[in-house]
Amino acid sequence: MFVNKAIIYGNITKDPEVKAMPSGSSVCNFSVATNRVWYDQNKKKNEEVEFHNIVCFGKTAENVAHYMKKGNGIYIEGRIKTRSWKTQSGEIRYKVEIIAENVQFGPTRLPQGAPENQESTNTSTIGDDVDEELNPEDLPF
């Protein structure tokens, strides 16, 4: 049995871009940043950031483009795909992407200057087959 599964939760690094494919279906591209924090032997804090290219299609693509923006938290389940293409100079380029199959919105951030006691609890769920909200307590990390 083979498994190709990616699960990430992070922040969107730039506003999602939605385009229409020739078939009329929507495709949305965006990037998500995740980080890892650890302490070395000398108890010095280290941090590593990883950037993930995300692609989603159809109604999910439209919802992400409409409701999400840079800085929003987002939960993605999908599969990893490597695309390749040849440049005009004949060089072969590669891009690793996560094709989103399940997307859930994380909590939205308050605008700068908003009172701190008004926390945002908006956790919207999108996707054709997803009916439950993202609870940060349920995340495995």
pLDDT tens digits, 27-71: 999 999 999 999 999 999 999 999 999 999 999 999 999 999 999
CATH of 6-138, one of 2.60.40.1120, 3.30.310.50, 2.60.40.1180, 2.40.50.140: 2.40.50.140
Instruction: With cut-offs at 50, 70 and 90, classify the pLDDT of residue 114.
Output: low
* pTM of the complete model beyond 0.85: no
**Above 60 in pLDDT, residue 131?**
no
What's the pLDDT score for residue 139? Answer: 54
**Above 80 in pLDDT, residue 133?**
no
Q: Which residues contact 51 (CB under 8 A, 6 or more apart)?
A: 13, 31, 32, 33
